[in-house]
Amino acid sequence: MNLKELSKEELENMAYDDIAFIILNESPKGKKIIDLFNEIAKLLDLPQNIVEEKIGDFFEMLNLDKRFTMLDDGTWDLSTRHAKNLVIEDEDDELPLDEEDEEIEDEEETEEEIFYDDNDDDDTDDDLKDLVVIDEEDEEGPIM
């Protein structure tokens, strides 16, 4: 879509971020947010007080719209021009093969080294010495 092909009525029915997308798509580089919004205001014949009133909302709109990205110099541009290469590193990928094998062996040894104390049974008798059994017949009502 080209700005020159759109009538004023069509532009008025569009959202600001859609107009900004067309402007940036036709521009060779990014623009400062105020310059971008001033272009939109000029296309829509918006008075300056509306520009000042709506610039914060426009900034938030661009922030939420994934089509746009803010560059380090404070200008806004299309995200497609500034694709980010994400490198996801897995800890396993970082280890050489020899170290990976040693790590697996260490994990196996750790699992085998778990000991259980057979003398724990003697302690449970002591834990139950203060236990009191109450019959339902002896109970007067619910305990709160």
Give the residue extent of every domain in the chain: 3-82, 91-121
pLDDT of 131 over the 80 cut? no
Residue 36 and residue 42: Cα distance in Å, rounded? 10
Instruction: Decide: helix, strand or coil at residue 97.
Output: helix
Residue 16 has pLDDT above 70, yes or no: yes
Q: Do 68 and 20 form a contact (C-beta atoms < 8 A)? A: yes
The average pLDDT across 47-61 equals 92
The mean-pLDDT minimum among 9-13, 59-63, 97-101 falls in: 97-101
pLDDT of residue 117: 55
Domain 3-82 has what CATH class?
Answer: mainly alpha
Distances (CA, A) of 50 to 33, 113, 127: 15, 72, 75
Give percent helix, percent strand, percent coil of the chain, each to the nearest 5.
55, 5, 40
**83-108 confidence digits (pLDDT tens):** 766 566 666 555 555 555 555 555 55
